[in-house]
Amino acid sequence: MKKAYRCTAFILSMLVVLLAGLPVLTAHGADGQAEKTLILGTSAEFAPYEFHKTINGKDQIVGFDIDIAHEIAKDMGAKLVIQDMSFDALLPALQSGRVDMVISGMTPTDERKQSIDFSSNYYQSTQVLMVRTEDKERFTTIDSIKGEKIGAQKGSIQEEIAQSIPDAVITSLDRIPDLVLQLQTKRVNAVILEDTVAVGYLHDKNLTLSEAVLDEAPVQAAIGIRKGNAELLTQVNSTIDRLKSGNRIAEMVKGASQLSIERQQSPGNIFSVFWEYRSYYALGLGYTLLLSALGVLFGFLIGLIVSLVRMSGIRPITWLGTAYVEILRGTPMLVQLMIIHYGLALTLGINFSPLQSGIITLSLNSSAYLAEIFRAGIQGVDRGQMEAARSLGMSRGQAMRHIILPQAFKSVLPAIGNEFITIIKESSIISVIGMADIMYQAGVVKNITYQGLSPFIIAAAIYFVLTFMLSKLLGVWERRMGASDHR
């Protein structure tokens, strides 16, 4: 038994060291010298600015924004590292220092300039209204879309335009493909997009552009830089000036637009989608299993400790344990994730990687529920068991470890199993900070194939298989543990 405890402690220690050292290891080259990197934050569903594309069998983020970023990195003598995330997460990521700059067709509005600095403008475009082809004659002027259901990207200049339309019912989503899907399924009647972006979706004959003029003045795009980083801002402006003088940006836009229009032949059915993009789902499955396994492991240990703290009888410690449980159970996991990933970086300068933030969030959230499960199991064991153990000369700790906890664990095993299954499913939330789990990969496949349903059905099937297998394994374990009760 003692040997098993030592092995478990060693494994946990190694995991902690690995997770703590992961960012350091990835920031150094093979020779141990720090490699200069330029970290770019972007939302890669904004073709032709930035988008996912399968090239030579590999998923790559491409677009003329990415081409510009590569030129900036080359001028700096740095390696470009791209972090894909939702559009509304770009500014928090930049302010918290997680990325060095953001490029995502971002408009330098006065509100944004209060939070970050912007480079000189590198591109301009106009706003258009995308509608279903059957409604083209219906929506021809601004007055015709008053009071209609309109879609726009969350936190974008398009959302501000939509808000200026009288009585409009606005649907704001993070990703452009989701907005287009809303339009195709008749959940909204129009979507506001940049003209450069809208062209990429006009391959669908059921979609077209309205003649309504939204904004005659072109909208500028610029690169976001964290406030006070004058050195990087100067370097970025220098690169933009060089590209403009050689008409390189216009060439990049033309090349990226052509690449975005060149659609891959979409697989015919859901099985073809799964087989063709199996490598995407395999990668997502690996991250999901890692997140869930470590979340379960640390959540189990923390939950057990918290349950014992709450039953210690020492009022201050008991109160702290109760506050821990109530706060974590009373707040959404998404809020906890934002606080851990962005809040700690903004306030304390602690930058966790998406993997670390995900594991910490899952562990803390699940530990609050597991603590209550353990407490109920321990209190369910007859008090006479503790008294009998103490009468045999056992200390309270020995009695708890050898007598009480085994019986409590057996009684609450079904509830623990349900919590483990919940952790696997809720790990999908971590995709919002750029963690490449199953849900993130399903979104990538959707953006590549322009199929709104099949990629997520595949993701649902993978989650079902995982949870079904786990429930069966827990059932076998429960029956084995309960075998002695029937002797």
pLDDT in tens, 122-150: 998 888 999 999 999 999 888 899 999 99
Give the model's pLDDT for residue 349. 81
Mean pLDDT of 435-451: 82
pLDDT in tens, 38-62: 999 998 888 889 988 877 777 789 9
Tokens 């590549």 label which residue? 448
Domain spans in the chain, listed from the N-terminal domain onward? 36-123+221-263, 127-217, 272-486
Enter the pTM of the model: 0.69
pLDDT in tens, 165-204: 989 999 998 778 788 888 988 999 999 988 888 877 887 7
Compute the distance between CA of residue 106 and CA of residue 224 in angstroms, rounded to an integer.
8
Checking if the pLDDT of 107 tops 90, the result is no
pLDDT in tens, 84-97: 888 888 898 899 88
CATH level 2 (architecture), domain 272-486: Orthogonal Bundle (1.10)
pLDDT in tens, 260-296: 766 545 556 788 888 888 888 998 999 999 998 898 8
Give the model's pLDDT for residue 28. 40
Checking if the pLDDT of 237 tops 90, the result is yes
Checking if the pLDDT of 30 tops 50, the result is no
pLDDT in tens, 332-369: 999 999 999 888 888 888 888 888 899 999 999 999 99
Looking at domain 36-123+221-263, its CATH superfamily turns out to be Periplasmic binding protein-like II (3.40.190.10)
Contact between 173 and 153 under an 8 Å Cβ cutoff? The reply is yes
Give the model's pLDDT for residue 31. 46
Angle value at C-alpha 303, between 297 and 305, nearest 5 degrees: 110
| Greater pLDDT, 343 or 32 | 343
Checking if the pLDDT of 80 tops 90, the result is yes
Mean pLDDT of 233-259: 90
Checking if the pLDDT of 29 tops 80, the result is no
**Paired tokens of 336:** 């906890």
What percent of the chain is modeled with pLDDT above 70? 89
Domain 36-123+221-263 shares a fold with domain 127-217: yes
Compute the distance between CA of residue 435 and CA of residue 419 in angstroms, rounded to an integer.
22
Looking at domain 127-217, its CATH superfamily turns out to be Periplasmic binding protein-like II (3.40.190.10)
